[in-house]
Structure 1
Amino acid sequence: MRNQQKKAESDQELNVFRQQKWQLYMPVPHKPWFIEGKQYLLRPGLTFTPFANAVACNAHCAFCSEELLRDQHHQLTAKQLIRDYPSYFSRLQEVLAAFKGFPLGLSVSGLEPTADRKWLLHLLETIQQAEKTGVIFDEKVIYTNGSGLSTHPDLIQALLQNRFDRIELSRCHFDETVNQQIMRFNRNQPVWRNAAFEKLVSDLPQAVHLKLSCILTKTGIRDIISLEKYLQWVARLGVKEVVFREMSRLNGTYQLNTFSAWVEKNRVPIEPLLSEVVPILSRPRTGWQYAYSTFGYYYYNEHFRWNDQIEVIFETSSYEALQAANTSQVIQKLVFHSNGNLTGDWDPNAKLVMPADKSVLI
């Protein structure tokens, strides 16, 4: 329900997919849901994100979406760190209880969710308790730069015990110096070095479904040659799945600042790469095999097999499409913020679903 899958059967159909992308997503029937006596319309398959901002991020990625401002009224949860853990988790329990019986995807993201071991362990405990009372998570994913998993391996076991379906691990280049120019880890984080990163990947238990996420940039992976070198590198580490993401298309929806300017200057569109990988279905690039495409309400993916070793996904998305979907009455996404608000938006005070009585959590 989170996306729609279809395999192109002809070159013409594949071209239509690539040209129209997320516009081909067909909205699924919404489901009415009562929260605190008020009816909301929920998109089946929506995800719930407890925004991870216990501490400041230990990396400073040049493409960070949490630093993008839509307008002068847009507030950033990234700037409001969690100060009162007991109040925060008590409020989170209240919020989760409102969705008993409605299947949700759990998406742990925001800043760096593994940066504060105490917060993550408490979050996992809260999730477990909620599930025992009837809250349903049909998929659980954590998005991380790997820093805390490298320094606190017990977090990996905690994620497994909590039955997480996938760990999405960010890495933008196979050369640690180039990667550091993009992700800009605090230098006290061992994972900025390839030795620590490679050890983390190699030491992950087989039970972990690992997916590497590489943001395409002119500074880093920018063409098919560097992309295949990246795949060769991670194949040696035993990685079975990689997603190459184009930076989200802003289309003028965000104010000009250091981060939006960097995104536009360093953007690598996926269309030329797709044309090199599979220009036509009958003549793919050597080692590549088209599998299928997926359509979301603001993103489009193409899935491939590379050298019969790794599932490779190319993804592009549109913040303009995302914001357009958010203007409808249907809640597309649930985000729990550190001020206690549950919203249908990444802004902590926009599209309120369950507003907190007062801001006591920051």
Structure 2
Amino acid sequence: MASSERNQFRVAATSAELAHSRQQAWQLYQPAPPVTVPAFGREWQLRPGLTFTPFANAVRCTAHCAFCSEELQRYDGHQLTAKRLIDDYPAYFARLREVLHPFRAWPLGLSLSGLEATAEPQWLRELLSCLTQLEHQGVVFDEKVLYTNGSGFVHSPDLALALQDFGLTRLELSRCHDDEAVNQQIMRFNRNQPMRHNGVYATTVRWLHQHLAIKNSCILTQAGIATLPDVERYLTWAAGLGVGQVVFRELSRLEGSYLPNVFTEWIEQQRVPIEPLLAAVVPTLEAPRLGWQYTGSTLGYYYYNEHYRWQGVDVIFETSSYPALQAANATGVLQKLILHSDGTLSGDWDPDSRVLSRIAFPAPAQP
């Protein structure tokens, strides 16, 4: 089994081994010994390869996805950082420099996620400039990933050039269906967002493909992509746009760990379990579905992936567990670092949980 700082990769040699991996999934992940880093007046235990997220919410999101994780609140949660917009850029970027200073020379993955980073081009440009300056000062990002619905590229295509200059590893572009009407039912773009239309999406993807490595991200849902024929049709469509890698994600398994609301209800009603898809693609290594080739499995601390090749496209099926993520957090080892929009640096999506450092930004002015 090959290990990276973030996960472990194995290629099953037998059908029994593959079945065992599918059954145990993330439970087979073997965490590396934590590293100790002094920061903010004490020592912290960090998972090797952890990621840093400057939570993107300078403006409201340009879509309202029915599965949005920012609308979920744990029973032990306190507040949602998505409700607090970044309204003081100089203070925010000064804080960004401050919180990353103790972690210079420690390799971090950069995960640009939260709401929609491209929705406010000025903020994203300033963020990339600030992070580049920090790299010159010794901060190390060994992987840089942007998770986006792509809407901001329509009016600001130069963002692709800025990301290329920044050395973005890949751009994960969300699209939940190859039919724009079905996709809109799931992703629910604002009406003024051209990205809702397939023609605009196709033009944008072809432009991005000239400058960045693109991975399409498709959430599996009963209303959208749910069966293997659906998957193969989506892959044909994506390949026609020049996309060479696609990930199909099962909706994260909540297992009763979040307060019930319309989003948790939708997630459970729309869930497409990944196991039947995997069994249909490769029931056994000796008898894969025609055109499919198994290439390996990834074990993460709260997720499990299987990798395939299909007609020249790299395909990944992914499942994940929020309770497994919370169990890893409960060990006391920091699994990731998140700079929230109120200036709090924490090891959790909840800005009041696993706090490393807090600063009081002035409250935003009321309209």
User: Normalising by structure 2, what TM-score?
Assistant: 0.97
Q: How does 1:1-362 map to 2 (within 5 A)?
A: 1-71=5-75, 73-307=77-311, 309-356=312-359, 358-360=360-362, 362=364
Residue identity opposite 1:360 in structure 2: P
Runs of 4+ in 1 over 4 A off after TM superposition: none
Query: How many angstroms apart in 2 are the aligned matches of 1:306 and 1:215?
Result: 19
Structure 1: state its 5+ residue gaps.
none
Could you report, residue by residue, the CA deviation over 1:123-169 in whole angstroms, capped at 9, with x for unpaired residues?
Answer: 00110110011000001000000000122111000000100100000
Residues 99 and 152 (structure 1), Cα distance of their counterparts in 2 relative to 1, 3 Å cut: same
Larger mean Cα displacement after TM superposition, 157-166 or 206-215: 206-215
Could you report, residue by residue, the CA deviation over 1:295-321 in whole angstroms, capped at 9, with x for unpaired residues?
Answer: 0000000000002x1000000000000
Query: How many angstroms apart in 1 are the aligned matches of 2:35 and 2:43?
Result: 10
What displacement does 1:334 show? 0.5
Residues 320 and 248 (structure 1), Cα distance of their counterparts in 2 relative to 1, 3 Å cut: same
Residue identity opposite 2:318 in structure 1: E
What displacement does 1:184 show? 0.2
Residues 361 and 142 (structure 1), Cα distance of their counterparts in 2 relative to 1, 3 Å cut: farther
What displacement does 1:359 show? 3.4
What displacement does 1:348 show? 1.0
3-state SS of paired residue (2:52)? strand
User: Normalising by structure 1, what TM-score?
Assistant: 0.98
3-state SS of paired residue (1:44)? strand
What displacement does 1:54 show? 0.5
3-state SS of paired residue (1:119)? helix
Query: How many angstroms apart in 2 are the aligned matches of 1:154 and 1:361?
Result: 32
What displacement does 1:97 show? 1.1
Residue identity opposite 2:35 in structure 1: K
Query: How many angstroms apart in 1 are the aligned matches of 2:275 and 2:77?
Result: 34
> How many residue pairs are counted as aligned between the two chains?
360
CA-atom RMSD in angstroms: 1.0
Maintained 8 Å contact 1:87/1:361: no
3-state SS of paired residue (1:156)? helix
Residue identity opposite 1:312 in structure 2: V
Q: Percent identity?
A: 58
Query: How many angstroms apart in 2 are the aligned matches of 1:205 and 1:306?
Result: 20
Maintained 8 Å contact 2:77/2:350: no
